[in-house]
Amino acid sequence: MAFDFDFDLLKELTEERGVPGYEDRVRDLVREELETSTDDVRTDAMGNVVGTIEGDADYSVAVAAHMDEIGFMVKHVTDDGFLKIDALGGWDARVLRAQRVTVHGEEDVTGVFGSVPPHTLDEEPDGEEEVGDRVVDLGRDAEEVKELVSVGDLVTMDQTTVQMGDSVTGKALDDRVCLFAMLEAAREIENPDATIHFCATVQEEVGLRGATALGVDVDPDLAIALDVTIASDIPGVSADKHVTTLGDGAAIKLKDSSVITTPKVHKRLRSVAEDEEIDHQIEVLPSGGTDTAGFQNTNGAKPVGAISIPTRYLHTVTETANGDDIRATIDLLTAFLESEDGEHDYSL
């Protein structure tokens, strides 16, 4: 299957490195893209990027997708040259065993999260694993490691993004696949009535911090956030844990643990999807937060909505999204924004 979107840009975005608070490399890519598709691009003190298309109506919409990926910071270099790390974002320590990483020190250095071979285990490990129990091995002696790495250096997972059947798999689809969808919509929108602020946010994975700041600074009349959500259509997940299904289209969010979206907004998103014959599904997410909440009441009450891309294996290096769902998300966001003219009443 050939994807109906710019896979090369998606690959570049997802393979780039940018943990919370240090999104610089991703920010450079985003600025470059927005400078060709919007009227004005600016960056704030936190590192959020906002590209604005000026509309004709006295009405503004903010669209938000976050740039940061979960990663780590070096907190200690042992006498033997191993790195102890602190998490930046939510990790399941079990998925870190035997993974390759890049340590961003004096130069970028390859390392691995080691795993004790089963041949040397006297008994099965018991108890929950913690991120703090994992160490990074750089394959160098301690003296060289201490010359290359310092406390505070960053660590990111090392993975490529590839097509897998009808899907895309790699690291940092959370949330670069939605960042990509936002950038594609910015390319495709022409002469909107509303002023549209395309917001690439920072530090979402550690508390929606960038979006909360933009809720004040941008102060839109309406906000729509884009993020991945759980695709629960995999073995080992029972039917009562259902959230979304890969391949069933863009997910229109009703709630997560950080927000209940504005009913009139999610109903209009559904109406647009139906009118434009865009595949879509409804998302009720029991836990997890999104930038939607950062805009809802930060600077007074705001109507908010959210579109999600169903994704398997979240917060691992093999996150997987369906190509048609990605296209549906781009189409739904574009159609919704092009039909925003300030005349829709979202008050309750």
Give me 117's structure tokens: 């071979």
Give the containing element (helix H, strand E) for 13: helix 7-15
Catalytic residue, candidates 204, 283, 319, 340: 204
Beta carbons of 87 and 43 less than 8 angstroms apart: no
Give me 51's structure tokens: 């590209």
**Across the chain, where does the E strand assignment appear?**
40-43, 49-53, 60-66, 71-77, 83-88, 100-104, 108-113, 135-137, 154-157, 162-164, 167-170, 195-201, 222-230, 250-255, 280-284, 304-312, 319-322
**242 CB contacts (<8 Å, ≥6 apart)?**
232, 233
Q: Token match 């960056």: residue? A: 43
Beta carbons of 9 and 36 less than 8 angstroms apart: no
**111 CB contacts (<8 Å, ≥6 apart)?**
83, 100, 101, 102, 103, 136, 137, 138, 139, 155
Integer Cα distance of 143 and 75 in angstroms: 17
Is 204 annotated as catalytic? Answer: yes
Integer Cα distance of 135 and 286 in angstroms: 32
Integer Cα distance of 310 and 25 in angstroms: 26
Q: Point out the residues that are catalytic.
A: 204
